[in-house]
Amino acid sequence: MPKKFDQEAKDRVVRLVEDRILAENLSMQQACQAVAPKLGVSWHTARQWTQQARRDGLTHQHQPEDLVAEVAKLRRENQELRDTNELLKAASAFFASELDPKRRK
């Protein structure tokens, strides 16, 4: 007997499929095959829901300039996190050497 999914579950599947298509530049079929099993639906069902949402105009189509701005923001943020990580590595190495019993003499 087929499962019944509420509209919220369908919307979540569609959103995740669309996000995967944009993030990884996948085809709809590949994105559905990646997302659907994690959410307990078949990839055919996920594809049908996504196609229906597109026909109904319910999917949010990102504009290329939005994506370019978001990518630039994420790259800056990523670089800041790398810099912070390097600083924390250096600090932990410094304090670890201070606690070394061989150096306490």
Q: In 3-state terms, what secondary structure has residue 81?
A: helix
Q: In 3-state terms, what secondary structure has residue 100?
A: coil
Q: In 3-state terms, what secondary structure has residue 67?
A: helix
Answer whether residue 2 is part of any domain. no
Asked if residue 45 and residue 13 are part of one domain, the reply reads: yes
pLDDT average, residue stretch 16-40: 90
pLDDT in tens, 31-79: 999 999 999 999 999 999 999 999 988 776 656 677 778 888 999 999 9
* For residue 30, pLDDT beyond 90: yes
Burial class (CB in 10 A: 0-12, 13-18, 19+), 3: exposed
pLDDT above 70 as % of the chain: 90
User: Which structural domain, as residue segments, surrounds residue 22?
Assistant: 7-56
- Of residues 88 and 70, more confidence is placed in 88
Asked if residue 90 and residue 52 are part of one domain, the reply reads: no
Answer whether residue 51 is part of any domain. yes
Convert 27-50 into a string of H (helix), E (strand) and C (coil): CHHHHHHHHHHHHCCCHHHHHHHH
Q: Is the pTM of this model over 0.85?
A: no
